[in-house]
Amino acid sequence: MSAIQISSDLRDLEDATLEGFFVGWPNPPSAATLRRLICESDIRFFAIDSDTGQCVAYLTGLTDNVLFSYLSSLEVLPDYQGRGIGQELVQRFLETTTHVYATDLVCDPEVQPFYQRCGLIPYHAMVMRRRDCL
């Protein structure tokens, strides 16, 4: 099994490929858009397969560093799921945000058990989606 390196240092992302994400999206954002998403986020962690140089998972988050933090995106490539990478990225995010009151996220019901394993609890949410921004 290949070695996975987890990092938040954008220099480690410079040469990494960012293909294959947004599985199931009808109109997936490009690799360039994903790179921008990761770079512009307050908090980011990503996993690189050091054998292939491929980015195989990423997590992004936002915070005001006072009360709130928001886990805005998380995805592990299908071939790399079930190896503890997702949980490790969430753990890193939670360790980075222990100084704020709330950590929130929105997810589909089928992913709730995963986040519960990571220590979060089900709650309520309101959202707006602007598909023309994609």
Ligand X SMILES: CC(C)(COP(=O)(O)OP(=O)(O)OC[C@H]1O[C@@H](n2cnc3c(N)ncnc32)[C@H](O)[C@@H]1OP(=O)(O)O)[C@@H](O)C(=O)NCCC(=O)NCCS
Q: Looking at 9-17, 27-35, 69-77, 125-133, which segment touches ligand X (CB under 6 A)?
A: 69-77
Mask: binding to ligand X, 93-112, rule CB under 6 A, as x and -?
--------------x--xx-
117 contacts ligand X (rule: CB under 6 A): yes
- What amino acid is encoded at 64 in this protein? D
Residues near 74 by beta carbon (within 8 Å), at least 6 away in sequence:
57, 58, 59, 60, 86, 89, 90
Residue in the block written with tokens 């690799």: 31
Taking the least distance from each CB to ligand X, the nearer of 43 and 85 is 85
What does the binding site for ligand X look like in residue numbers (CB under 6 A)? 74-76, 81-87, 107, 110-111, 113-114, 117
